[in-house]
Homo-oligomer: A and B are copies of this chain.
Amino acid sequence: MNILDGRQLAKKIRAELSEEVNKIVAAGGRAPHLAAVLVGEDPASQVYVRNKVRSCEKIGFRSTLIRRPADVGESELLDVVRQLNEDEAVDGFIVQLPLPRHINEERVTLAIRPEKDVDGFHPVNFGRMAQGLPCYLPATPAGILEMMRRHEIQTEGREVVVIGRSNIVGTPIGILLSRKAYPGNATVTICHSRTRGLEDHLRRADIIVAAIGIPEFVKGSMVKEGVVVIDVGINRVEAPGTEKGYRLCGDVDFDSVSPKASLITPVPGGVGQLTVVSLLMNTLKAARREIYV
């Protein structure tokens, strides 16, 4: 069993990005610039956004945090988006989701210029991904691909079973791994809440991507010897007697699955570590005009 250490990989990639920034600046260019829009006071959102901004600073990217109160009007928020679209000093930006209920998330996402949509949520980027065209990939699928690439995980002809069909993980990673590319060329099955005989699917999988949001759902008895396990879940479960009163765990029961796995990502410290890094990589691509000229 080998543990895929997301923390170490993220550190390595950040160092590479930092070096790239140094080169750009040394050559007289300006550092890539990511802006983040945060609406309201949702504690989780605040942590995520702060994390993104801090990660920028650490590697020498410019970053701007734009805050609006929870009762901001939709049209005012759309104005912020439009200003960022026009601002030539900003290479890419994100609007942290979820937004308050009175704001239409779809409308906001559609208002972001695809050229600056480093979250990869705009239908243009999603469609380009599904059609195999250059695009900004959503952070989690991009992180999974990067991990596979760096660890030289073979995917061609392999049986991949994805559990979960969300727009941010299951659906895109399924599309990407079935396309004619590396990582890709796998035979992908997408399983979800309506799937019957899920265990039979899991048992024939060479690679499992678990993104179902149920703590420790995948057990050792459901997987075959030698399986590669990518655990995307981040769940809080009660842990009486611990300091915080809870612990974090994935969608995979690490204790029973890891002895059978040839490779497995832990939670925490696995794929989750790469999501912010993916955003930074997209921002560098935006600064370089790699996707859209």
Contact = CB atoms under 8 A, between A and B. Distances in A.
B187 A196 contact: yes
Nearest to A188: B190
A122 B131 CA distance: 10
A157 interface: yes
Interface in A187-220: 187-192, 194-196, 201
A222 to B, nearest CB: 15
Interface of A: 106, 122-133, 156-157, 165, 167, 171-172, 174-175, 178-180, 185-192, 194-196, 201
A291 to B, nearest CB: 12
Copies of this chain, whole number: 2
A109 to B, nearest CB: 9
Contacts of A124: 123-124, 127
15 contacts: A123-B123, A124-B124, A124-B127, A126-B126, A126-B127, A126-B131, A127-B128, A130-B130, A130-B172, A131-B171, A132-B167, A157-B195, A165-B178, A186-B194, A187-B196
Contacts of A196: 157, 187
A168 to B, nearest CB: 10
Contacts of A122: 127
Contacts of A165: 178-180
Contacts of A129: 127
A175 to B, nearest CB: 7
Contact of A194 (B133, B156, B174, B190): B156
Contacts of A128: 123, 127
Contact of A123 (B131, B157, B186): B131
